[in-house]
């Protein structure tokens, strides 16, 4: 159900507008209770805003300055050409006057509903594509994520955008931990203890940071490689506190040590020793953050001579 807010000073006009049958007939728009003029961020939670001419024009100017996309319909008791003209210039969604034309309003609602559905479908397609790039550790992931992030932030409803991004994060996090059980050893949540409730924008940005951190962990720990190296990388990731010296691992997996070194660098772009060190440090960071084990013990576990 899409939410509509009426910001009309004329009580008679507002009552007449609320009583129209088009709201019931449309089946997907719901008028909110009576409200006085609200903050633009709060108004962003409504898919359609029907406002008196003066209030609507002020709102459109503010939205333009703050680069907010709002569907503002100007409403008047008489057809004021000048108000209509200024509204068009400022990006008004439509202009309706009393006595209300039911067909015009029904057409307006149908157009808005179609746009909202298309936008939701486009967002879902973009999220599915992003998910594919995420698990492929694709180089285009960051640019695609930034584009989607900016698009969601510019939407009418930051709360809905925050919820949608949180849903996406929960989905990829669950799938990542199901695919790669070793992630439990390295990747944790970005947690904060705010002194106040987070705004919807802050919620959105925190989720974006969590997604970026998880992608960074996956790329660092699981670089792109062929099936030839899968057993090597899996052994390192599953047993970060074991003996990960190149000669030891080569012997265990029956691979020539020199060959392993050459192939590892060629496929991942990282030297074997550097990769092992990255894995150990990631594990050390997790142990320091999520356990009460001391630095000396962690250093001993990971075979560091100097804590």
Q: Are residues 200 and 132 in the same domain?
A: yes
**pLDDT tens, residue by residue, 263-282:** 999 999 999 999 999 999 99
158 in a structural domain: yes
> What angle in degrees, to the nearest 10, is found between the helix axes of 53-65 and 81-90?
20
Using the 3D structure, point to which of 190, 221, 252 is the last residue of a domain: 221
107 in a structural domain: no
From residue 26, give the alpha-carbon distance in Å to each of 17, 106, 123, 157, 267: 14, 7, 24, 21, 57
105 in a structural domain: no
Which residue ranges of the chain lie beneath pLDDT 70? 35-38, 79-80, 155-156, 190-195, 307
Q: Are residues 130 and 206 in the same domain?
A: yes
Q: Are residues 88 and 14 in the same domain?
A: yes
> Read out DSSP for 40-61?
HHHHTT-SEEEEEHHHHHHHHH
Per the structure, the count of domains in the chain is 3
Per-residue model confidence (pLDDT) at position 85: 81
Per-residue model confidence (pLDDT) at position 79: 66
Q: Are residues 61 and 157 in the same domain?
A: no
Q: Are residues 275 and 297 in the same domain?
A: yes
d(CA 304, CA 197): 42
Q: Are residues 84 and 164 in the same domain?
A: no
Q: Are residues 212 and 234 in the same domain?
A: no
Residue 202: how many other CB atoms lie within 10 Å? 14
Under a CB-based contact definition with an 8 Å cutoff, are residues 105 and 20 in contact?
yes
Q: Are residues 137 and 216 in the same domain?
A: yes
Residue 150: how many other CB atoms lie within 10 Å? 9
109 in a structural domain: no
99 preceded by a cis bond (ω within 30 of 0)? yes
Q: Are residues 75 and 122 in the same domain?
A: no
In 3D space, the residue among 130, 159, 163, 169 whose CA is nearest the CA of residue 147 turns out to be 130
Per-residue model confidence (pLDDT) at position 69: 79
The three-class DSSP label of residue 5 is: strand
106 in a structural domain: no
Using the 3D structure, point to which of 173, 194, 221 is the last residue of a domain: 221
Using the 3D structure, point to which of 221, 241, 257 is the last residue of a domain: 221
306 in a structural domain: no
Per-residue model confidence (pLDDT) at position 37: 57
Question: Which residue range(s) make up the domain with 33?
Answer: 2-100
In 3D space, the residue among 186, 184, 185, 188 whose CA is nearest the CA of residue 210 turns out to be 188
Q: Who's near 170: CB < 8 A, 6+ residues apart?
A: none
242 in a structural domain: yes
307 in a structural domain: no
Is the entire prediction scored with pTM above 0.85? no
């Amino acid at each position: 159900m899409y939410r509509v807010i009426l910001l009309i000073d004329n009580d008679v006009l507002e009552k007449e507008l609320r009583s129209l049958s088009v709201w019931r007939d449309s089946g997907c728009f719901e008028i909110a209770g009576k409200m006085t003029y609200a903050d633009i961020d709060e108004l962003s939670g409504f898919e359609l805003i029907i406002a008196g001419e003066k209030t609507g024009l002020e709102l459109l100017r503010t939205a333009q300055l703050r680069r907010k996309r709002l569907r503002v319909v100007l409403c008047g008791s008489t057809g004021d050409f000048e108000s209509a003209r200024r509204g068009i210039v400022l990006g008004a969604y439509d202009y309706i006057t009393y006595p209300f034309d039911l067909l015009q309003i029904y057409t307006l609602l149908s157009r808005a509903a179609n746009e909202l559905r298309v936008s939701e479908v486009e967002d879902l397609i973009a999220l599915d594509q992003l998910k594919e790039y995420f698990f492929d550790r694709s180089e285009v992931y960051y640019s695609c994520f930034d584009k989607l992030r900016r698009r969601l932030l510019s939407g009418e409803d930051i709360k809905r955008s925050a919820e949608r991004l949180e849903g996406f994060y929960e989905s990829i996090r669950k799938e990542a931990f199901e695919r790669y059980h070793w992630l439990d050893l390295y990747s944790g949540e970005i947690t904060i203890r705010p002194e106040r409730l987070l705004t919807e924008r802050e919620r959105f940005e925190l989720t974006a940071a969590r997604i970026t951190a998880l992608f960074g962990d996956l790329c660092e720990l699981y670089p792109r490689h062929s099936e030839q190296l899968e057993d090597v990388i899996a052994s390192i990731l599953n047993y970060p506190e074991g003996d990960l010296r190149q000669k030891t691992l080569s012997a265990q997996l029956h691979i020539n040590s020199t060959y392993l070194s050459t192939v590892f660098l060629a496929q991942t772009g990282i030297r074997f020793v550097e990769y092992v060190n990255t894995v150990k440090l990631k594990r050390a960071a997790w142990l320091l953050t999520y356990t009460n084990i001391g630095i000396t013990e962690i250093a001993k576990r990971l075979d560091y001579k100097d804590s």
